[in-house]
Amino acid sequence: MESVVNMIDRSTVMNDIQYATSILEETVGKGRIIQIPPSYMSPPSLEGKSCVYILQIGGSNTSSMRYYVGETDSLARRLSDHRSKGKDWSALKAIAIEIYEGKSKARSIESLVIQKLAKNGFNMISIADGRSIRSWNDAPY
């Protein structure tokens, strides 16, 4: 399945999701972004690994699309959970990136991406996890 996901032509993805991808790339700084089209599962290579993901939900035009940012160690389970929320959610597009430094770093990146997308005018479903961000360098461990 991973090879099918990687073969997706970037030109078929909405401009907003491309911009969201660039924000994710800029924030993470390294790694391979995986695009997951509607009804596709996440690649098995990401299971059990910390990931940050962005969902593009619903809408037939850019103004009615909403975005959700999350982090997880089970992307397949989270996509399944999200897609079970209803019609708009079942057709979501997703992008994800593995965070090699683990869950704490993934949570920090999730908050930064939420802040950046909201600041750039994305219609966010939730900004709760982006309200208080602590720099990764300020972590007490």
127: burial class by Cβ within 10 Å (0-12, 13-18, 19+)? middle
Evaluate if residue 10 carries a pLDDT over 90: no
In this prediction the pTM is 0.78
Q: What is the pLDDT of residue 60?
A: 65
Tokens standing for residue 93: 């597009």
The pLDDT mean for the chain works out to 80
- pLDDT digits 0-9 by tens, 24-69: 888 888 788 999 999 899 999 999 999 999 999 986 666 678 999 9
Per-residue HEC secondary structure of 6-71 comes to: HCCCHHHCCHHHHHHHHHHHHHHCCCCCEEECCCCCCCHHHCCCCEEEEEEECCCCHHHCEEEEEE
Evaluate if residue 9 carries a pLDDT over 90: no
